[in-house]
Amino acid sequence: MSLIEIKRIFEKRRFNLIKTLENGKEDIELSKQHQIYGAIKELENIMKTLDYYQETQAENHFDFRLSNEPNKTILQKITLKLKRNSEEKEQKKVTVSE
């Protein structure tokens, strides 16, 4: 999964929580409303973090991915790969051979 796909999932969850909060204010206990509000804020922070990593990915040519393996935690699923264009590879080869 790419960062964009992950962000879309969190945006959908955030949207659903906001709708739940808006539609059920009379039916949901105040403590539950606060929990939902806290979850929304956490999702917003995660999305800001994803935005940061997308910028970092673009600037530094990194590729962040999230695997679909069910038995791993979210941190274990993250992979980081360095993207290099052919010019950088050639420069690296020259540096190594000198």
* pLDDT (0 to 100) of residue 61: 63
Mean of pLDDT values over 21-33: 89
The whole model's pTM is what?
A: 0.60
Which residues fall within 8 angstroms of residue 68, CB to CB, at 6 or more apart?
A: 1, 77
The whole-angstrom separation of Cα 11 and Cα 17 is 10
- Measured in residues, the chain has a length of 98
What is the 3-state secondary structure of 19-52? HHHHHCCCCCCHHHHHHHHHHHHHHHHHHHHHHH
Domain assignment of residue 79, given as a range: 3-97
For the chain, give the percent of residues with pLDDT over 70.
Answer: 59
Counted domains in the chain? 1
* pLDDT (0 to 100) of residue 25: 80
The whole-angstrom separation of Cα 1 and Cα 64 is 9
